[in-house]
Amino acid sequence: MSEKKQMVGDVYYPTPEVVAQAHVPDYEKVNSAAVADLAGFWGRIAAENFEWYEPWETVLDESNAPFYKWFVGAKVNIVHNALDRHQRTAVRNKAAMIFEGEPGDVRVLTYQQLNHQVCKFASVLRSMGVRKGDRVTIYMGRIPELAIAMLACAKIGAMHSVVYGGFSTEALHERIEDSQSRVLVTCDGAWLRGQIVELKKIANEAVDRSASIETVICVKRTGQEVEMVAERDHWYHDLMNLPIASPKAATEVMDAEDPLFILYTSGTTGKPKAILHTHGGYMVGTATTLKWVFDIKPEDIWWCAADPGWITGHSYIVYAPLVLGATSFMYEGAPTYPNPDRWWQLVARYGITILYTAPTAIRGLMRFGESWPEQHDLSSLRLLGTVGEPINPEAWRWYYRYIGKERCPVMDTWWQTETGSFMITPVPSMPLKPGSATRPFPGLQVDVVDEEGNPVPPNEEGYLVVKTPWPAMLRTIYGDPDRYVNQYWSRYEEQGWYLPGDSAKKDEDGYIWIIGRIDDVIKVSGYRLGTAEVESALVSHPAVAEAAVIGVPDELKGNIIKAFCILRQGYQGSEKLAKELKDHVGHEIGPIAKPATVEFVSTLPKTRSGKIMRRVLKAQALGQDVGDVSTLEA
């Protein structure tokens, strides 16, 4: 790229080798063509790289915005593109998925083997009466059966609703209730730091609270004794050995706009939102962004170290790599188990070529020093990536220097559960600035604006907005279209812009620097949590009358949760009670949601209408000016 153009700040230019092999050697050229003709750009990509049962009539239908439609009239199934079509080519014998469990067990599934497993499980689900449009909740650890279950649902046109295995009873229950799933796929347990996370036990508690689940299918992973309820519960391996589990199963022909899955994410109110993605646009968006941003080649071993339970894993462990016919690596456990070099060992052992992870993980491993990565041959790596929260330049440089050995560009990808695919991200041929997600993916127009929608001057903070639709965009909030409109499209209704809920800055070179959330969402170690979810878990404890939580900056986790609790009469604040409340939140939502500190208070700052002013609590906690408190209750 143009080394001649003088850019501002700490800039890392790509090497000629990186540019030479990049799918997008000249970002400016591709981007300006895409911006000039967005529908033409995506239409060409969709026609040339994917198989459709029937073509579309219209690439992009904006007539009922913000309910945008992509590839209208086309018939497709993402699984046809992820598995079926590869059975006709040499890709059939290639590793689709390489898995290493935390205890060290290894499994390799070729495209053919994965297809057989998916067909078998799809047949099992069909035999249980699961049909197009039904919801299936999946609650598992990071094992291949999680991907098999997702793909089997998609194959028969059922929507999967994956609940992250780090979530606990109430979080799972709430998501089952909202989706009204009749089937739950789970496993006995998951390995984490040498311990068993008792997933089936948690699933049983959640199902006890839910009326909709009729069938539970349980994968045996950790092997300990678990309670299986007669009639309701079945072992996965028993079902997969039945004659009905056929290795051949038809793939349901779907409309491009038919739902593929729902995935719950935290928002500003207590109830998590079911973000809905579709077969056609999501397929085109995720596969294209992965190919261009991480320059995927047939020989790559791609490792997205996220959990399939989050959007990162849905898009970039399961769907996009398979659609591209790539090899995706999956590791079950903790990065530091049994030692802080487990990841580096994996990179060397499997010859990982591209590693994609979260800043929190990088900071966590950085703590142990470079002597750990230095013990391993990391020369197979050619690209690195990060996602989930802003990366501090210090962590970026450590990653670039000690993991990428100053050879591997770092792709800082900004996106969301809602966006489905990368939105603001470099491509490898682009100059990089540590801490900046750089520029929008070709075709996309984003800006940083003030309340009225005017662009703010360079380097000033404002609201991030997205001005154009994109194929992998969410289509709605399942069961709540009004909330979809209010949440994302009402702030800049006149302009028709999407509001992601982040603040950002844009520098003189047009590079975007994400600052953080502007709403009541807290990012803890890259995990997205709603203040209201944690607060309702706290008040479900008998000692707590009222609670408010805020995010406080933390060097390692990005943010940690601080809780303020007003106790019911007859309860006394103590260290013991604080611990009990933290554990209670862990039990209800999951360990990631545990407050780091609990403070007992007698009042909470509220507006006259009774809304808790978390902004005031946060300013006080950080020793900052509390700002305008004119709406504060007298």
Which spans of this chain sit near ligand PRX (rule: CB under 6 A)? Answer: 265, 311-312, 387-390, 412-417, 437, 500-502, 514, 517, 523, 528
Q: Closer to ligand PRX by CB, 153 or 275: give it.
A: 275
- Quickly count: other Cβ atoms within 10 Å of residue 174's Cβ: 23
Q: Closer to ligand PRX by CB, 123 or 417: give it.
A: 417
Q: Closer to ligand PRX by CB, 316 or 329: give it.
A: 316
- Quickly count: other Cβ atoms within 10 Å of residue 298's Cβ: 11
Cross-strand partners of 356 = 304, 385
Phi, psi of 552 (to 5 degrees): -120, 130
Shortest Cβ distance from residue 505 to ligand PRX (Å)? 12
Half-sphere exposure of 526 (CA within 13 A, CB side): 26
5 CB contacts (<8 Å, ≥6 apart)?
none
Q: How far apart are CA 152 and CA 174, in angstroms?
A: 24
DSSP string, 245-297: --S--PPPPEETTSEEEEEEE--SSSSPEEEEEEHHHHHHHHHHHHHHHS---
Shortest Cβ distance from residue 263 to ligand PRX (Å)? 9
Q: Closer to ligand PRX by CB, 141 or 501: give it.
A: 501
DSSP string, 379-421: TT--EEEEESSPPPHHHHHHIIIIISTTTS-EEEEB--TTT-S
SS3 112: helix
Do residues 554 and 560 make contact, with C-beta atoms less than 8 angstroms apart? Answer: yes
Q: Closer to ligand PRX by CB, 389 or 535: give it.
A: 389
Q: Closer to ligand PRX by CB, 335 or 359: give it.
A: 359
Q: Closer to ligand PRX by CB, 283 or 499: give it.
A: 499
Q: How far apart are CA 520 and CA 447, in angstroms?
A: 22
Shortest Cβ distance from residue 304 to ligand PRX (Å)? 11
Q: Closer to ligand PRX by CB, 86 or 277: give it.
A: 277
Q: Closer to ligand PRX by CB, 85 or 491: give it.
A: 491
Cross-strand partners of 263 = 275
Shortest Cβ distance from residue 516 to ligand PRX (Å)? 6
Q: How far apart are CA 624 and CA 634, in angstroms?
A: 21
Q: Closer to ligand PRX by CB, 221 or 528: give it.
A: 528
- Quickly count: other Cβ atoms within 10 Å of residue 608's Cβ: 9
Shortest Cβ distance from residue 610 to ligand PRX (Å)? 28
Shortest Cβ distance from residue 474 to ligand PRX (Å)? 10
User: Each residue of 458-484: b (16+ CB within 10 Å) or e?
Assistant: eeeebbbbbbbbbbbbbbbbbeeeebb
Burial class (CB in 10 A: 0-12, 13-18, 19+), 97: buried
Shortest Cβ distance from residue 312 to ligand PRX (Å)? 5
Shortest Cβ distance from residue 74 to ligand PRX (Å)? 26
Phi, psi of 256 (to 5 degrees): -55, -35
Shortest Cβ distance from residue 200 to ligand PRX (Å)? 26
Nearest-CA neighbor of 272 among 616, 590, 496, 503? 590
Do residues 122 and 313 make contact, with C-beta atoms less than 8 angstroms apart? Answer: no
Q: Closer to ligand PRX by CB, 43 or 409: give it.
A: 409
DSSP string, 419-434: T-S--B---TTS-B-T
Rounded to 10°, the helix 169-179/575-588 angle is 30
Residue 538 parent element (H or E): helix 531-539
Q: How far apart are CA 236 and CA 216, in angstroms?
A: 9
Shortest Cβ distance from residue 265 to ligand PRX (Å)? 5
Shortest Cβ distance from residue 286 to ligand PRX (Å)? 11
Shortest Cβ distance from residue 146 to ligand PRX (Å)? 18
Q: Closer to ligand PRX by CB, 141 or 267: give it.
A: 267
Do residues 461 and 504 make contact, with C-beta atoms less than 8 angstroms apart? Answer: yes
Do residues 282 and 319 make contact, with C-beta atoms less than 8 angstroms apart? Answer: yes
Q: How far apart are CA 163 and CA 314, in angstroms?
A: 11
Shortest Cβ distance from residue 275 to ligand PRX (Å)? 8
Shortest Cβ distance from residue 522 to ligand PRX (Å)? 10
Q: Closer to ligand PRX by CB, 292 or 372: give it.
A: 292
Do residues 80 and 96 make contact, with C-beta atoms less than 8 angstroms apart? Answer: no
Q: Closer to ligand PRX by CB, 43 or 390: give it.
A: 390
Q: Where would I find the H helices in 294-406?
A: 311-313, 320-323, 342-350, 359-366, 371-374, 393-398
Residue 75 parent element (H or E): strand 75-76
Q: Closer to ligand PRX by CB, 219 or 512: give it.
A: 512
Shortest Cβ distance from residue 469 to ligand PRX (Å)? 18
